[in-house]
Structure 1
């Protein structure tokens, strides 16, 4: 596995995942309240002062020693792996910024959020933290000085992380070069800038506690559950988010629209029409690790998850995640088979003409595709599911799977938004959702027009 620093300068072909997978209100999993104040959970303030008083930047080894972080190479390496599993770099490193220096701006309807500096700089990062302080934040969602973290940080998932894994992640973060840049202050509108309001959210949606293995399941299943529910925090995108920025247990993994970004995260349940019910473990493993499988490819926010995180995970861990996902119960909320929806004849004919002109060369005259590079569109559940957001966005903006170790030169789909009118785009998406026996519903010009305004990242 290459070190994270070896990949930081490379930008994936997908737009950078700024406010997708980690978001509650369209933001990513970021501990926006992280800072480096002094408290009883941190090492004493005189030691912190002595570290930052000199003009020379202390070595990372010296920082790790001062904070009590484990410096054993095997622990640091394991921490790097776990940090990848948690995809920390995607949020805590701005485009063209220094690794873990923070500063990634995320626009929301409530103002702008910025990811903090979590490098080992004692003044601006977490270099003055101790392993206890870091674990306290992971377990409780509260900073060492008592600030409540905004729920954009996946505190409901990270609370499941074990102390051993937390210490390893901290050891790794203390081993990277410190970034002497202050975290950008948050810019939220009133009343969203009042942290006391988070007490209500925590009462409704936060349950503190480490993941407890289920003795009725295998070791592999429990490992997969720990990764999916904990560090992977998959529910943040694949569960519908309500107006309070939370989700209900009955909606877990049932899919939902990612706020602000306007991508639809599909169901991960055993629903055979809208979820993973008829996917094999190999299909899931290939999609997560390579970014492409016989069932399709990852695009949008999920492409960045694969690029930054999943492609580097071990075969055993990816298989464990797939094994766990295959057991999630069907919540009966996906697209269900039935007669094709009624489609206006003129719209269908126009869509068919556009499809034959611009799409059939790659995806086939009958939507059969060309595995694995050009996904089939016939009987494709991502095309047929209730939400038409993803196919509309891919037609308008193109689709670009990530370059991965298993698929280093992926095939992409060019954008057609600049040459198709709203009428044309609606017609061709309607065609692929209703042709060849597909059971999707027609798409309107208004839906297309609204998604032209969606952010590309």
Structure 2
């Protein structure tokens, strides 16, 4: 494949140069000393190759922008002696003042094109240098090729080029072509000698109320005009009583990101010096009417990132965590202002200086709150901007708590693996302009050191922290046995005994003080909407709504092997619900199973799964629940037999089975897979029903994960390889079932799954697909039977011998919808019983429940209803019917026994 280089035309013909798509582009370094060459050789940028051959030193890549970006990363190093942590500050009469710097190299790039490619034995060279004998002799000497192998093509002279530079470019193109073995285009030269810095001096004072009174801002390029009359008038987005802004940059070399870096770093300094929250301080200085779109964006990003939450802990005492915020507003050449806000979470290794950006929550918006359109910042821009600020090659992808294929707000970042393409070059865009400031502010939060110029390389961070290791070495671990090991040594039988003996001696758990119910306006509409989705994934209303009762008002009785447990009131009623719960109290209950007043919750409430939820999702769920109508309703108290009625015993259970900590994504898996596992194991708590439990009621994991369990007297079938389903669950079948309540290969959602599907049906398709994708990955379906093969399989005559009574009942009551060839479809979908999971299960309970009670509340309206026959057939007839169904539609499975007694049991416990 070839392409026309329209920007370059041959001098004689005037036609564009035709070159292969595989051609590489080179940015050549000039004035490179030994130290610079050494740093260049050590620089690792995916998709970019460093070549030093003879007198030519260059970065080569598939696009010129990538090669130039690598070169600028090398050159954009602050001037020695002007360390960012200790720049001198000019004196002023204002309370706060600081200086910042931003490295510039855009004016040091000199375009100069030359192209070399191999055409058989010939070396074709396009150049603006004359095809002189001197150039030819230099090429022969540099390559060892004979003079007859070179063919010269002259480029047009529309672009003035220095003759010496054009000659050097021609030489470089040929030598680089020889090294890479393919076509190379030299795009230009970058000189470290011309690199400069923009400097910023900012000062401000606050009045007695803590509001900005004076604001002074100066930006200059050393050696520029020095003429203040040419200053720009951009005063920034924040209100102050007296403002002055001067920018001496006649050539427009200072990028917007540099101004944002200086302004947002300084605002952060002022806020922290005055013990003010950096986000709240900014909001206090944005106009509530004219900038309400900006305020809505900041609120949403702060809530999405769970700003102000508990500090992140790490076991490594050398690692410190920090969070930083930055905001930008552009008004130039736009009818409505555009906004961008970033929150960065990072870790700093105080011994090595390495900085790891873990997460970025970033969004953009324009205009007023109602008129604007808020969206997330694309992952490629986030990766590019963070890479540039840190001098690393990073990748970004939506966080595990983001819906796939949506415009994500939160992203997880990591070092780019060798197989990853390089991040996109940072363009001058408001989307990415807050990046450097947010990272610098996070670095200050982590280390207490203010970095006043990018890039924040490990060498500069380590130097600023003095590389002191003495205070960060952890104390030696004392030898001790964990509680889990101690209990294991004593056997499971000792667990209850140990807990019973210790619980009276435990200090009571401190209650968390009640608060006044927060107003719904405390949170953004986007956060409340997200909280509704989290609640639907968690099926909150399914368990916390009694029959005929108000939604989430509690009172539903849950049958457990230990007795009846009644669900609590989740509405924001201060007397009987959670209206006086702070977020800290709610978070503790969700992650640790401890109520606001300090008593333990029984693990029928799946806090063992909810502990995996992200803090942002937990915040959104709290916001949603607090924004709903308050309902005063006191559910029946849960009363279990002794000693299970002693709630403090749950502490021993938690010590064994509660594994706290948010979900950690698997970096080797896809974003969709991680999103699916996060939903399945976290808010969705699927294993709570679909995994077996031990004698103490804890889920069995490992190889027994998702191999089948029970819920409210129903069998929750296995979803993995040991499933009794005639056809194995595939990703598409799982998606169909979860999204619509019906899979032609498995049947209709009934019992406890019906309301679960009713919730999932309202949620984003990509999230439900992610759940199906993850669950399907747990099984190998390569040799699974085809649905048509199973459906067409017929039992032999011996199998059906003596089942005439059951056959007559089936033909009279069931065949109209469930004939072997499919029913008439008058009542919705027509499940084939040969493919129905309930017919192939090891117990008849699910099938008996459906036949007796019917399906009067289908998951979705499209499924239709099924009448119940509990009043039409007695237990003997039920047994005959079920025996016939099992023998006809699951002939390879063993007959069920004691069906009459099973029918009586199901009839007795119907609810």
Partners of 1:108 and 1:381 lie apart in 2 by 24
What is the deviation of 1:94? 2.7
Number of the residue aligned with 1:64: 518
TM-score with structure 2 length normalisation? 0.40
* Higher RCO, Cα 8 Å, sep 6+: 1
Pick closer, same or farther for the CA change 1:391–1:95 going to 2, 3 Å. Answer: closer
Number of the residue aligned with 2:872: 419
Partners of 2:631 and 2:802 lie apart in 1 by 56
1:211·1:226 contact (CA, 8 Å) conserved in 2? Answer: yes
1:274·1:385 contact (CA, 8 Å) conserved in 2? Answer: yes
1:298·1:401 contact (CA, 8 Å) conserved in 2? Answer: no
Deviations 1:95-131 (A, max 9, x none): 3333333233445565543222222233332222222
- Are 2:763 and 1:313 equivalent residues in the alignment? yes
- Are 2:775 and 1:325 equivalent residues in the alignment? yes
Partners of 2:816 and 2:727 lie apart in 1 by 28
Number of the residue aligned with 2:36: none
Secondary structure of the residue aligned to 2:715 is: strand
Pick closer, same or farther for the CA change 1:347–1:450 going to 2, 3 Å. Answer: farther
- Are 2:814 and 1:362 equivalent residues in the alignment? no
Deviations 1:187-244 (A, max 9, x none): 3332221012212322332211111101121101111101111101111111123331
- Are 2:717 and 1:266 equivalent residues in the alignment? yes
Partners of 2:749 and 2:546 lie apart in 1 by 23
Secondary structure of the residue aligned to 1:213 is: coil
- Are 2:554 and 1:115 equivalent residues in the alignment? no
**2:643 corresponds to which of 178, 191, 196:** 191
- Are 2:617 and 1:165 equivalent residues in the alignment? yes
- Are 2:558 and 1:103 equivalent residues in the alignment? no
What is the deviation of 1:343? 7.4
Number of the residue aligned with 1:252: 705
2:523·2:623 contact (CA, 8 Å) conserved in 1? Answer: yes
1:268·1:276 contact (CA, 8 Å) conserved in 2? Answer: no
Number of the residue aligned with 1:220: 672
What is the deviation of 1:386? 1.8
Higher mean C-alpha deviation, range 315-324 or range 249-258: 249-258
**2:843 corresponds to which of 367, 387, 395:** 387
- Are 2:532 and 1:80 equivalent residues in the alignment? yes
Partners of 1:181 and 1:397 lie apart in 2 by 29
- Are 2:750 and 1:299 equivalent residues in the alignment? yes
**2:655 corresponds to which of 194, 198, 203:** 203
**2:888 corresponds to which of 421, 435, 447:** 435
Number of the residue aligned with 1:288: 738
1:341·1:434 contact (CA, 8 Å) conserved in 2? Answer: no
1:384·1:441 contact (CA, 8 Å) conserved in 2? Answer: no
Number of the residue aligned with 1:240: 692
Partners of 2:564 and 2:838 lie apart in 1 by 31
Pick closer, same or farther for the CA change 1:326–1:179 going to 2, 3 Å. Answer: same
1:369·1:377 contact (CA, 8 Å) conserved in 2? Answer: no
2:726·2:835 contact (CA, 8 Å) conserved in 1? Answer: no
Partners of 2:890 and 2:577 lie apart in 1 by 56
TM-score with structure 1 length normalisation? 0.76
What is the deviation of 1:437? 6.1
Secondary structure of the residue aligned to 1:188 is: coil
Unaligned runs of 5+ in 2: 1-508
What is the deviation of 1:370? 5.8
Partners of 2:573 and 2:890 lie apart in 1 by 59
Pick closer, same or farther for the CA change 1:448–1:92 going to 2, 3 Å. Answer: closer
**2:600 corresponds to which of 145, 148, 154:** 148
Aligned-residue CA RMSD (Å) = 3.2
Deviations 1:422-454 (A, max 9, x none): 232222212221225632332332222222222
Partners of 1:416 and 1:187 lie apart in 2 by 34
What is the deviation of 1:158? 0.5
Unaligned runs of 5+ in 1: 1-37, 52-62
Number of the residue aligned with 1:377: 833
Secondary structure of the residue aligned to 1:237 is: helix
State the structure with more CA Rg: 2
Number of the residue aligned with 1:448: 903
Q: Report which of the two has the higher share of strand.
A: 2
Secondary structure of the residue aligned to 1:392 is: helix
Partners of 1:247 and 1:339 lie apart in 2 by 38
Partners of 1:286 and 1:313 lie apart in 2 by 13
Partners of 2:557 and 2:602 lie apart in 1 by 15
Pick closer, same or farther for the CA change 1:107–1:140 going to 2, 3 Å. Answer: closer
Partners of 1:275 and 1:142 lie apart in 2 by 43
Pick closer, same or farther for the CA change 1:433–1:171 going to 2, 3 Å. Answer: same
1:384·1:440 contact (CA, 8 Å) conserved in 2? Answer: yes
1:368·1:376 contact (CA, 8 Å) conserved in 2? Answer: yes
2:673·2:770 contact (CA, 8 Å) conserved in 1? Answer: yes
2:816·2:824 contact (CA, 8 Å) conserved in 1? Answer: no
- Are 2:696 and 1:230 equivalent residues in the alignment? no
Deviations 1:364-400 (A, max 9, x none): 1x36446771200124343122222212222222234
What is the deviation of 1:303? 0.8
Deviations 1:277-316 (A, max 9, x none): 3x44332222112112322110111112122x21111101
Deviations 1:47-80 (A, max 9, x none): x4xx5xxxxxxxxxxx3259xx942111111111
1:432·1:438 contact (CA, 8 Å) conserved in 2? Answer: no
What is the deviation of 1:83? 1.1
Number of the residue aligned with 2:59: none
Secondary structure of the residue aligned to 1:207 is: coil
Number of matched pairs:
390
